[in-house]
Amino acid sequence: MEAHPAIDVRKLGRAFTPGAWLFQGLSFQQAPGEQVALLGESGVGKSTLLNILAGLEPPDQGEVVILGQSLAALTEPQRLALRRSQIGFVFQAFHLLPHLSALQNVMVPCLLKGDPPAQAAEAAMHWLDRLGLGHRSQALPSTLSGGEQQRVAVARALVHRPALVFADEPTGNLDPVTAHQVLEALSEACRSVTATLLMVTHSLRAAALLDRQLVVRADGVHPSPDGASGQVL
């Protein structure tokens, strides 16, 4: 039997004002472990789409099936549990907790899942090491460079072994060289644990590092005509 897609988006529509569709008829699938770049002009609804996929807000049309599970069929506590166990996030603005060390920040998803602190610390240290930040584990975020902070955020996104990682313009605040290094680290980290990666980006160079590119438009999501700029959704 064929495995479920990791992500199955079916004719999704969102309108913050009734009748004024941000997007409509948006459909795509992602195979387990597949890495997809989501492109599209500012304001088309890329962040909104990630929020819907994470079960943080409901769509106005259509359905999202994550790991074979329809989000609409779950209760709010079940969606929270799915998010905590199966999804990791990386945001543009890092969103590290300023009063916690790098290690403590990375431990948070494990603690939220209920792992014992010693186990959480071990997993967090493992991921900081893998991202080249083992020597900075006790540092507060404010003492880290932007690239280091985002690598802490990558470690935090993967530490609880999620099946899916959502990244919303994760390198938007970094200089081009650092951005490329962080993106390679994110992609490699996801590949190493076969996590499915969906990443919003404005960088065609960044998008080209992933397996497939999709473009969000008001009327849906599509592949790029030439394969370079992505399928237009």
Ligand X SMILES: Nc1ncnc2c1ncn2[C@@H]1O[C@H](COP(=O)(O)OP(=O)(O)O)[C@@H](O)[C@H]1O
- Residues of the shown chain interacting with ligand X in the complex, contacts defined by CB under 6 A: 16, 22, 40, 42-48
Contact predicate 102/133, CB 8 Å: yes
Q: Is the Cβ of residue 161 or residue 217 nearer to ligand X in the bound state?
A: 217
| Nearer to Mg ion among residue 47 and residue 69 (C-beta) | 47
Cβ proximity to Mg ion, 46 vs 222, nearer residue = 46
Partner touching 142 among ligand X, Mg ion, none, CB below 5 to 8 Å by kind: none
Least Å from the CB of residue 216 to ligand X: 7
CA angle 92, 219, 47 (to 5 degrees): 15
Contact between 151 and 185 (Cβ < 8 Å): yes
47 binds Mg ion (CB under 5 A): yes
Coil, strand or helix: which one is 60?
coil
Residue 197, token pair as written in the block: 């990666």
How big is the site for Mg ion, counted in residues (CB under 5 A)? 2
By CB under 5 A, is residue 173 in contact with Mg ion? no
Distance CA 179, CA 24 (A): 32
Residue 22, binding choice from ligand X, Mg ion, none, Cβ under 5 to 8 Å by partner class: ligand X
SS3 150: helix
Q: Please say which residue, 28 or 127, places its beta carbon nearer to ligand X.
A: 28
